[in-house]
């Protein structure tokens, strides 16, 4: 049964996945997630915008029980958490057509085996009349796949954005009620999903200025009835300006790297630089991703294991590289017993990070006075770079 009408004849459907803890078998979801779908009843046509993860198709179909006809299903994004139930909806409404971008058509055929004749590709800026309501389709590629688009419902001033502006947050409220909680969830979502496409997102961001937006309706997490909150947050996240922050992911096997980390953290704080260390043996990798959104400098701490960085450091370093944060500087603090190539190996792992390498500190065995002095010098150099660039 449909229970939530967010605007005149615009209904909020979907499913809340309270217990999901991992997405793409990679991304931690400490607060679960939701798959939001929407139904618009025009005077002539009825439209469903996105669906839900196929594991929860039964919930969407239950909500649609009393809906006799759907003319169009709009697929903003072909990833299965939104498109995966389209085949079930088509089974119930065999005359419905799926509206998407041309690239979306290709992906829906590839991933969901939807018959080509069921799909209607639309052009950028194309409009669709539902009778007393009209939709405009806005291409917005790379949020976060190449086929993505948004839909603007003119009469109600609602922008449907699918993943864009979304948050992995299971919550029963319709609209954001706790901005701090949603800020963290949306930033985590941005860091893990959208950050690699920061420049593409920025390229299209001004498109939003053309629209008077009363509500942003994403397909994960609560809706925004004060859209400026999330628009402003995204403007900061996608900008090229990092904050006065060092992010320091590390592993310590016998305590030497940990001593170096403690010393460097104190030395950086004395220089007025904010620092966030992450012990990778216990950290939530999503928290590390959130910090990378603002980091100006990344310092990687590792012992040497069989000549290389610790495997958990390798994992975090590769993840940081593919997330493509805006950091400008990088360094390494490391230990070894009898031989090491950790600095060279780490440098090879970060081809996407456009960072300047600041002199690493590599220590044989337990750190000694000269090593702590070297860490003080590293903190001095980082502090100078941050001041020079006026990172705040």
Quick check: 220 binds ligand FEO (CB under 6 A)? yes
List strands edge to edge, sheet with 134-139.
Answer: 127-129, 134-139, 149-153, 158-162, 215-218
Nearer to ligand FEO, 79 or 376 (CB): 79
* CB-based closest residue to ligand FEO: 79
Q: Kindly tell me which residue out of 20, 41, 76, 77 binds ligand FEO, with binding defined by CB under 6 A.
A: 77
Contact residues for 260 (Cβ-Cβ < 8 A; gap 6+): 301, 333, 335, 361, 363, 367, 371, 375
Q: Which stretch binds ligand FEO (CB under 6 A): 74-82, 88-96, 279-287, 344-352?
A: 74-82
Using rule CB under 6 A, residue 82 touches ligand FEO: yes
Quick one: which segment of 73-81, 195-203, 283-291, 359-367 binds ligand FEO (CB under 6 A)? 73-81
**CA-closest candidate to residue 139, choices 124, 129, 156, 117:** 124
Least distance (Å) between residue 144 CB and ligand FEO: 6
Pick 114 or 375: Cβ nearer ligand FEO: 114
Q: Does the footprint of ligand FEO cover residue 168 (CB under 6 A)?
A: no
Q: Sort strands 149-153 and 158-162 into parallel, antiparallel or unpaired.
A: antiparallel
Choose one: 79-87, 281-289, 300-308, 370-378; the region binding ligand FEO (CB under 6 A): 79-87
Pattern 131-150, ligand FEO, x by CB under 6 A: -------------x------
Q: Which residue, 17 or 163, is less far from ligand FEO as judged by CB?
A: 163
Asked if omega into 144 is within 30° of 0 (cis), the reply is yes
- For residue 76, state whether it binds ligand FEO (rule: CB under 6 A): no
The residue (of 107 and 213) whose beta carbon lies closer to ligand FEO is 107
Rounded to 5 degrees, φ, ψ at 200 are: -65, -40
Distance in Å, CB of 199 to ligand FEO, minimum: 18
Query: Mutual orientation of helices 285-292 and 311-323 as an angle, nearest 10°?
Result: 40
Q: Residues in the chain, how many?
A: 392
3-state secondary structure of 58: helix
Residue 44 exposure: Cα atoms within 13 Å on the Cβ side: 7
Long-range contacts of 176-179 (CB under 8 A, 24+ apart): 176/222, 176/223, 176/224, 176/225, 176/226, 176/229, 177/222, 179/229
Q: What is the rounded distance in angstroms from the CA atom of residue 222 to the CA atom of residue 186? A: 10
Q: Which stretch binds ligand FEO (CB under 6 A): 36-44, 78-86, 241-249, 290-298?
A: 78-86
User: With binding defined as CB under 6 A, does residue 17 bind ligand FEO?
Assistant: no
Give the nearer residue to ligand FEO in terms of CB position, either 50 or 371: 50
Contact 163, 144 (CB under 8 A): yes
Positions 303 through 322 that interact with ligand FEO (CB under 6 A): none
Residue 81 in contact with ligand FEO, rule: CB under 6 A: yes
Selected binder of ligand FEO within 17, 31, 147, 163 (CB under 6 A): 163
Residue 376 in the binding site for ligand FEO (CB under 6 A): no
Nearer to ligand FEO, 219 or 244 (CB): 219
CB of 197 to ligand FEO, least distance (A): 11
CB of 143 to ligand FEO, least distance (A): 9
Tell me, by CB under 6 A, how many residues bind ligand FEO.
7
Other CB atoms closer than 10 Å to residue 355's CB: what's the count?
18
Q: Pairing relation of β-strands 33-41 and 27-28?
A: unpaired
**Least distance (Å) from ligand FEO to the CB of residue 220?**
6
Contact (CB, 8 A) for 320 and 351: no
Cα–Cα distance for residue pair 69/3, rounded to 1 Å: 18
Name the site residues for ligand FEO (rule: CB under 6 A).
77, 79, 81-82, 144, 163, 220
């Amino acid at each position: 049964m449909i229970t939530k009408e967010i605007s005149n004849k615009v209904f909020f459907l979907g499913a809340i996945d309270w217990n999901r803890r991992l997405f793409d078998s990679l991304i931690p979801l400490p607060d679960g997630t939701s798959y939001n779908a929407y139904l618009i009843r025009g005077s002539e046509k009825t439209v469903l915008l996105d669906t839900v993860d196929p594991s929860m198709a039964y919930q969407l179909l239950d909500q649609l029980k009393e809906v006799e006809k759907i003319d169009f299903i709009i697929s903003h994004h072909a990833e299965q958490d939104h498109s995966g139930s389209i085949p079930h909806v088509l089974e119930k409404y065999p005359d419905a057509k799926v509206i998407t971008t041309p690239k979306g058509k290709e992906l829906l055929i590839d991933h969901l085996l939807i018959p080509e004749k069921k799909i209607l590709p639309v052009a950028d800026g194309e409009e669709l009349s539902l009778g007393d309501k009209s939709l405009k389709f806005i291409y917005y590629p790379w949020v976060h796949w190449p086929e993505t688009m948004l839909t603007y419902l003119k009469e109600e001033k609602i922008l449907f954005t699918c993943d864009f502006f979304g948050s992995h947050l299971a919550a029963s409220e319709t609209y954001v009620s706790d901005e701090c909680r949603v800020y963290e969830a949306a930033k985590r979502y941005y860091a893990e999903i959208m950050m690699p496409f920061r420049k593409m997102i920025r390229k299209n961001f001004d498109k939003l200025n053309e629209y008077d937006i009363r509500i942003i309706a994403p397909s994960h997490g609560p809706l925004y009835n004060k859209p400026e909150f999330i628009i402003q947050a995204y403007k900061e996240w996608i900008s090229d300006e990092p904050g006065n922050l060092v992010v320091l992911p590390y592993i310590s096997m016998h305590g030497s790297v940990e001593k170096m980390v403690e010393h460097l953290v104190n030395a950086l704080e004395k220089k007025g630089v904010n620092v966030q260390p992450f012990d990778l043996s216990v950290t939530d990798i999503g928290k590390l991703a959130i910090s990378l959104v603002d980091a100006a400098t990344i310092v990687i701490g590792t012992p040497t294991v069989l000549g290389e960085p610790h495997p958990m450091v390798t994992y975090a370093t590769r993840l940081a590289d593919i997330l493509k944060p805006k950091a400008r500087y990088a360094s390494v603090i490391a230990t070894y017993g009898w031989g090491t190539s950790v600095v060279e190996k780490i440098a090879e792992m970060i081809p996407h990070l456009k960072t300047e390498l600041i002199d690493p500190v590599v220590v044989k065995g337990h750190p000694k006075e000269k090593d702590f002095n070297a860490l003080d010098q590293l903190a001095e150099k980082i502090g100078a770079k941050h001041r020079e660039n006026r990172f705040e």
